[in-house]
Structure 1
Amino acid sequence: MFRRLTASDHDRVVAYLSKRPALHTFLTGDIERYGYDAPFQEVYGYLTDGRVTAVLLRFYGSYIFSTEGPDAVEDVVRMLQSNTAWTMVQGDSVSLSLLQDVGGFQPRQVREFAFAERPPGAPRPFVDTSGVYQATVDHVGQLWQLRKSIAEFANSNTTELSLRQSFESGDTLCFYVPGERGEMAASASAVAENTWTAMVVGVCTRPLYRGLGYATRCVAKLCDVFDERGKTLCLYYDNPNAGGIYRRLGFAVTSGWTQFFR
């Protein structure tokens, strides 16, 4: 049975999410932070013999989907087709492939990524993180301008307002390296921190400062923080050069990640 979930279902939701904590980073982080009753978030699930076997979460205008099998697929496709307000649905590549192969869903655009994980304490070479600073809500304007200058962020559904709200709610931990003129030269953020994991996002460098290792230093700083917290860092990427950097920092590809755009 596919239905909206409530706080009374939380133990069953956690039992499902804990099976694949890294791939469920966004789901777990959003549910732990915002619960089941926030006006901008809805959590749906498929229940089989009292167990949650699939989760669909709406966060503002995007969805995250995860399933153990095909049972929830037709219900999810009907929801996506009936709701015209969303812009993106994302999740592990196996789950999203079922929406196409079983549910017949045809997105306007598909992006495929490698999904990588870094357990706390994973070995990596020393990286000098001096000159790396933590951003605050006062830096949101600069961070937004940095991301707008990067072509790879053109499809992002993040707005300056949602970025500010993420800082104000404490959901974003961001480190940056300043440029010669005081602008942000590079940055990397972690979001959706939860009991087990956090997701690295927004790794970027202005073209003028590329090749200097600034983004590597920002990600290394995040590694330091989450090593201390004993949590796994996750990320997804489709840039082979970035993949080489992440591997050197201790990340290993474990799965695929897919985004569908309406």
Structure 2
Amino acid sequence: MIIQCKDEDIETVFDYIGEDYGKCLYIFIDLKKFGLDDENFDVWIQYSEEGSICAIISEYFGGIQIYSREENLLLEEIADFIKEKDTHVLFAIKPIIDRLKPFLPGYEQETGTVGELMELKYPPNPKAYSAPMEELAEIVRIVADDEGIGKPYGYDSLYEQYTQRKEENFGRNFVLRDEESNDIICHAGTYAELPELAVIGGVITAPAYRGKGFSKETLSSLCEDLLNENKRIFSFFYIPSAEHMHYGVGFEKIEDWSKLFKD
């Protein structure tokens, strides 16, 4: 049985997740940030016949995330729920997606890793700094040009996202500049922040400067800043170069992370 959450159910959801929010970051962050007051964000609880919680489901702007602490979710019921909503993208740890996929023909699967910084192993670059609002346009131009990170969103959408995060203290942007040209060499930011955690995103080095360790230095500087605020630091990464960079800085794998998507 899948029941839509009301305000009185929020604490039940947080109690169920506990400290395991690394496996359901979108659910945890969005529920902390919005509660149930945002018209674009909803949460459901799946219960077994005995009345115990099997899974938590969230939807934000049409994207769904699923979390099940014991991985004992009722698959057919959730698949029917997804089909009824005609969801185009859903996220969960890979073991859950692997079990759901046979019930959802027509979806493609992409797998990466969700990791957490356990120890800062790479020296920060002291010249990397937290960029002010006035530098966001320059940062977004670099991110929006990258095929794998920002290009699918387009400059205008990315600029709006970055500006909103900065205005709401929901994200920050660290940059490293060339001392001679003053061009941005590298950027590392956060896609989301709460008092207890941050999620890394948008780590990118300008093509002419790649392969020289600048991404590790800049990411390490950002992480040092976050650690000074006693935040747990998480990141999603999907390609070998990103995996190498994160592990080099001190991230460790929590779980394989997958998404199912269709056109």
Retained in 2: the 8 A contact 1:12–1:51? no
Supply the RMSD in Å over aligned alpha carbons: 2.5
Other-structure match for 1:216: 216
Other-structure match for 2:42: 42
Q: Give the structure-2-normalised TM-score.
A: 0.85
In structure 2, relative to structure 1, the CA distance for the partners of 1:156 and 1:51 (3 Å cut) is: farther
Worse-superposed segment, 34-43 or 156-165: 156-165
Retained in 2: the 8 A contact 1:2–1:72? no
SS at match of 1:162: helix
Other-structure match for 1:59: 60
Q: Deviations 1:99-127 (Å, cap 9, x if unpaired)?
A: 214xx1135432110222113xx251423
Q: Deviations 1:35-73 (Å, cap 9, x if unpaired)?
A: 112012111221345554312211223222212335343
1:226 aligns with 2:226: yes
SS at match of 1:38: coil
1:141 aligns with 2:137: yes
SS at match of 1:79: helix
1:150 aligns with 2:146: yes
In structure 2, relative to structure 1, the CA distance for the partners of 1:109 and 1:116 (3 Å cut) is: same
Q: Deviations 1:60-104 (Å, cap 9, x if unpaired)?
A: 2322221233534333323332334x5422221122222214xx1
Worse-superposed segment, 138-147 or 217-226: 138-147
In structure 2, relative to structure 1, the CA distance for the partners of 1:183 and 1:61 (3 Å cut) is: farther
SS at match of 1:152: coil
Retained in 2: the 8 A contact 1:90–1:96? yes
Retained in 2: the 8 A contact 1:226–1:233? yes
Unpaired stretches in structure 2, ≥5 consecutive residues: none
Retained in 1: the 8 A contact 2:42–2:59? yes
1:232 to partner: Cα distance: 2.0
SS at match of 1:71: coil
In structure 2, relative to structure 1, the CA distance for the partners of 1:181 and 1:149 (3 Å cut) is: farther
In structure 2, relative to structure 1, the CA distance for the partners of 1:232 and 1:80 (3 Å cut) is: same
1:78 aligns with 2:77: no
SS at match of 2:211: coil
Q: Deviations 1:181-223 (Å, cap 9, x if unpaired)?
A: 5553321122333354321111111212212322212211222
Tell me how far apart the structure 2 counterparts of residues 36 and 92 of structure 1 sit (CA, whole Å): 24
Tell me how far apart the structure 2 counterparts of residues 50 and 229 of structure 1 sit (CA, whole Å): 39
Q: Give the structure-1-normalised TM-score.
A: 0.85
Paired-residue identity, %: 16
In structure 2, relative to structure 1, the CA distance for the partners of 1:156 and 1:199 (3 Å cut) is: farther
1:12 to partner: Cα distance: 1.2
Superposed, 1:146-185 pairs within 5 Å as 146-153=142-149, 159-160=157-158, 161-179=160-178, 181-185=181-185
Retained in 2: the 8 A contact 1:25–1:198? no
In structure 2, relative to structure 1, the CA distance for the partners of 1:125 and 1:141 (3 Å cut) is: closer
Q: How many residues align?
A: 256
1:245 to partner: Cα distance: 2.3
Tell me how far apart the structure 1 counterparts of residues 27 and 108 of structure 2 sit (CA, whole Å): 22
Superposed, 1:1-262 pairs within 5 Å as 1-48=1-48, 51-67=52-68, 68-84=70-86, 86-101=87-102, 104-119=103-118, 122-127=119-124, 129-153=125-149, 159-160=157-158, 161-179=160-178, 181-194=181-194, 196-262=196-262
Retained in 1: the 8 A contact 2:117–2:233? yes
In structure 2, relative to structure 1, the CA distance for the partners of 1:241 and 1:69 (3 Å cut) is: closer
The one-letter amino acid paired with 1:26 is Y
1:247 to partner: Cα distance: 1.7
1:2 to partner: Cα distance: 0.6
1:224 to partner: Cα distance: 0.8
